[in-house]
A and B are shown apart, each in its own frame.
Chain A
């Protein structure tokens, strides 16, 4: 499958591998998507004091635990990259599986958190704060889920020592998702 590749894919006039360059541009375009929603949230937060009242009902301990889980999963992504650099595909795959497991724990904990909140009446229509809460965190969770899927595919090929450069690419994406959460956590949970 790697033979029918155009020269255009393998050239590197800018001095950076084509795949990595592309992932950075993907991340740039994602930053403005999250930027749009976070900026809207901040503008509303500044204009409405009622947000603080709603935000007091978020489960900070769950958010904090999830932050810890996500950061740890990023560590495994780095270890996977290191293994891939050394040409150890099976180990890189194992590390990616651990990263994906972290993402899965994040999603499970988030589902628990949301179920709890929704049963307490804090639904997406409860107030503008909760609308933002579910929309922003939901968009982020969607990115986590997609990341897990791609990670499993990358791990599948990496296990056979193929396409090892992809381990770094999915790692870059994962760190991005991580950093978005670092912004969302204080905005949605702590800033009361």
Chain B
């Protein structure tokens, strides 16, 4: 086997001869790293928008009737549009583009020792379609009738029948935007899977692939296998909405619960689609900052497979109060509770990896540790909702809302910050400021808990989701309940304002941060053997792999790490 493989395509590229223009470099590039940056920046900008929406409607909830600074008075319809688009943006336009598309694009070729994606042009096209979906969503805010306000789950009849739907054009554009987004991610996901299967460096066996690459690939496969029924459902919904069909209209022989099945057959696996990349990012960080081999590499993989398979059997726990057969509810209770087993196992593997390690608490490690702690609360509170008996009481209360924020915020927000702070030196060639990073960390994690712990309590007390003004309901207006609502909202303000620290740190370090060495964290994986930032083509000579990615503190070696590409 050849020791090194020269990069064949680099000399032919035009930019090897002259500097490309702005459009060619930043907008029309087929380089996987540039596409990753496009996804990262678009997704992060959308997160800011989604965060702004949260600020507006949380302010309305805590101080009903108050004019929200930066927005104004919030009408009931605007409130509905805000919560709908907050949910949709955070899942479809922030978590997926950042966790899967940005990290997938950046890491997969670099970590498997390839010079690019298997299909660079399809990769670029997938970003462009994603961008189009963002634009369509933006347009939906400004059309007649306003943005769609029927919740991100798009349940008919609110989303279908003209009788109930007050935002006809907004709905069409919203569903179209989601559909375009799916097309982009199907194309991107197929590219990831094929690249990871076929383009690995010589010597890299299946079990030498870093966990995060595995996780992004598995997530792409789960996405591909689950999104189909929703694509079909979206077509049916658009037809119901615009052509007058009656797939989901009970008056004319349709069934609105069919939509719930089609939606959640995708929607619940989607949780694991965004979870797995975050879990993978955390795995990389924990082994590096504990200087220990990952406790059980294959177990993590098998449990991730298990999670993937089980994720297709849990969706109907969203229908426990939609009138499904109680015998079916039993089955879905069991499968739903079962899925906590593999996910918990992954967390235990991480804790076992930490045990006895030489742990250093750099910013990425803080994020990784907080992921485990926070996500465990999310998982444990899920048990109450997976069991049909308790779910019938808690359904659609703020308990549900707090539960899924305790899973999605660790996944999307903490996972993103862990990944960005860890790979920033490789992405931009400079180091982030660790002190600002830690201020930002504590300023995010503490208020986060102060937002959602009160909401668990309010949920159990009966506060229902999707209500514009609680003071209109005497039983929800007890002073202590109003106080908890205010605490949650004020904590959100604090959490959002601390994001400025991160933005300052990010953009200051981007220009002025100290130059990053090739391998600042002394990590084993291949991406750290490329220049920081890696050039187009990644390496002058593509690497060859000799071992697995987590050989830290191997007895008898002088260094406590053993990069994958070092012969012995």
Contact = CB atoms under 8 A, between A and B. Distances in A.
Interface residues of B, number: 52
B246 A139 contact: no
B147 interface: no
A177 to B, nearest CB: 15
A4 B419 CA distance: 31
A22 B247 contact: no
B120 interface: yes
Contacts of B186: 29
A154 to B, nearest CB: 16
Given A4-B12, A7-B8, A18 B118 contact: yes
Contact of B247 (A3, A28, A131): A131
Given A124-B243, A127-B253, A7 B232 contact: no
Contact of A11 (B200, B227, B253): B200
Interface stretch (A30-38, A56-64, A107-115): A30-38
Contacts of B254: 128
Nearest to A32: B228
Interface in B5-57: 5, 7-9, 12-13
B9 A6 contact: yes
Contact of B233 (A21, A22, A29, A36): A36
Interface string B211-239: 00000000000001111111111011001
A93 B259 CA distance: 44
A12 B7 CA distance: 16
Interface in B503-547: 537, 542
A118 interface: no
B236 A40 contact: yes
B115 A8 contact: yes
Interface string A10-47: 01111010100110011011111111110110011000
Interface string A122-139: 001101100110010001
Contacts of B230: 36
A7 B246 contact: no
A127 to B, nearest CB: 7
A88 B368 CA distance: 57
A39 B193 CA distance: 27
Interface of B: 5, 7-9, 12-13, 109, 114-120, 186, 190-191, 193-195, 197-200, 204, 224-233, 235-236, 239, 243-247, 252-255, 258, 262, 265, 537, 542
6 contacts: A6-B114, A14-B197, A25-B224, A32-B226, A36-B232, A128-B245
The 9 closest A-B pairs by CB, nearest first: A32-B228, A36-B229, A36-B232, A6-B116, A8-B199, A8-B114, A33-B228, A131-B245, A37-B232
